[in-house]
Amino acid sequence: MHTLEIRDLVVALTETPDKPIVKGVSLTIKSGEVHAVMGPNGTGKSTLSKAIAGHPDYTITSGDVFLDGKSVLEMEPDERARAGIFLAFQYPSEIPGVSIANFLRAAVQARLGEGEDLDAVAYYKNLYAKMDMLKIDRKFTSRAVNEGFSGGEKKRCEILQMAMLEPSFALMDETDSGLDIDALKIVAEGVNQLRGPKLGVLLITHYQRLLNHIVPDYVHVMYDGRIVKSGDKNLAIELEAKGYDWVKDIAVPAMS
């Protein structure tokens, strides 16, 4: 059982530390739980996930993030990843010339102890099993990471990485953006397959439609850098019916 606790987190762009984007967010995720964070564009949802992962463009000016009670703020992004935090990118980077197989191999190797060598046979066996589970063609492994991928392929590649690296917590940043409904279903199916008692998920999305396919345990509505309302999956449905203007109305008393 693991816990990811976000406490009073304030985040700004590193360039402009005096202009916070996330303005005090508190949220606790436990293994096995799926938390959806919804909200209009520019409200700080993506910033929240990138700051937790340690993106250098963002600076945490106050508050803290604890993984099993230990602050991650002094940890480099690669240390946070090895500790069990996985960021599924909204816009995954292209890595020219580096095949998916080699890339994932380096990531798996990085999780082994000093002097411990990767068992290549076991690695490929595991990789192919995960690819079969996610219905990904094996030819995919020799392609350079995200290079020339369609939007759907990029997101499936993210899910494959998540499946291989087996994080304790996955921060999924707008995983549904840029996907048509078929691609969205495939990606959602992948996430559902990885769901289980060992994984906690923070699912960031602008659209309720993703939550039809990945049903969350909790829904949080974010507006202007704060969580203004929390509830269960019905909150997402209510939000879909009433629209984000409704959030603005509830945000005003919350701020006053």
Residues that bind another protein (CB under 8 A): 53-57, 76-78, 81-82, 86-87, 89, 92-98, 102-103, 106-107, 110-111, 144, 161, 165
CA distances from 141 to 9, 102, 108, 120, 128 (A): 38, 8, 15, 14, 9
Distance CA 127, CA 141 (A): 9
CB closer to another protein, 170 vs 247: 170
Residues 27/220, Cβ–Cβ less than 8 Å: yes
Q: Measure the CA–CA gap between 8 and 226, rounded to whole angstroms.
A: 10
Query: Are the beta carbons of 183 and 55 closer than 8 angstroms?
Result: no
* Least separation in angstroms between CB 236 and another protein: 27
Q: Which residues contact 5 (CB under 8 A, 6 or more apart)?
A: 27, 28, 29, 65, 66, 69
Angstrom distance (rounded) from CA 132 to CA 182: 18
Q: Which is nearer to another protein, 89 or 223 (CB)?
A: 89
Bin 255: left if φ > 0, else alpha if -120 < ψ < 50, else beta. Answer: alpha
Please report how many Cα atoms fall inside a 13 Å half-sphere around the Cα of residue 177, on the Cβ side.
14
Q: How far is the CB of 140 from another protein (least distance, A)?
A: 17
The nearer residue to another protein, 110 or 122, going by C-beta atoms, is: 110
Helix (H) or strand (E) holding 36: strand 34-38
Work out how close the CB of 241 gets to another protein at its nearest, in angstroms, rounded to a whole number: 36
Shortest distance, CB of residue 234 to another protein, whole angstroms? 33
Q: How far is the CB of 156 from another protein (least distance, A)?
A: 16
Least separation, in Å, of the C-beta of 143 and another protein? 12
Cβ-based nearer residue to another protein, 98 or 237 = 98
Of the pair 103, 123, the CB lying nearest another protein is at 103
Residue with Cβ nearer another protein (40 or 178):
178
